[in-house]
Chains A and B, each alone.
Chain A
């Protein structure tokens, strides 16, 4: 059973550009969350998708947007990139199990903005 897979693993972009990151959830998982992890910090929640809808959003600007497809895979889009957007972007998929959502993380996409 493949876990959560993210692509690409590394990416270098220039300030002002746009980027799309992709995530395939763990088999059977219907909920996808995205997190931003700056160097030396804990992950910060960006947003979560369920049934192709954004269900909850963290404190991130509208430059950050996403999408979930019918097969539950998801994309994270960031427009007008800033140097401060450089971080590890993590995708987590989850499934309600025993009354709680257990989140499984992918290996992340390392985004560097120059």
Chain B
């Protein structure tokens, strides 16, 4: 059972544009939602994360928007750069009691064209 659904599967954006990746979750017990960036041949690296008590979190060019009632969250990459070209994964886990088990989405391959 896929508990975290991610879209789109792939995305092509022009340099300077906004990249938007969406995720939806099913389990209302999830209360920690990180985004990971993965380059070929590397492990995933944490980009930014949010808890459901806030609707938005911004770190530099990266913003997470969170809609608790819709059980959806999204990653916005502002002023996208060719160096942002990578695979992005959303994930979810249960919170403070949590064991750190992350449930990942299927991933979005982002290509930023110069």
Give A contacts to B, CB under 8 Å. 4, 31, 33, 35, 40-45, 48, 50, 55-56, 58, 90, 92, 94, 99-108
Contact = CB atoms under 8 A, between A and B. Distances in A.
A50 B99 CA distance: 9
Interface residues of B, number: 28
B43 A101 contact: no
B32 A100 contact: yes
B111 to A, nearest CB: 15
A42 B99 contact: no
Contacts, number: 69
A102 B101 contact: no
Contact of A90 (B4, B43, B98, B106): B43
Contacts of A105: 36, 43-45
Contact of A107 (B41, B98, B99): B41
Contacts of A103: 34, 46, 100, 102
10 residue pairs, one from A and one from B, having the closest CB atoms: A42-B104, A105-B43, A101-B100, A56-B99, A94-B100, A105-B44, A107-B43, A99-B96, A45-B101, A43-B104
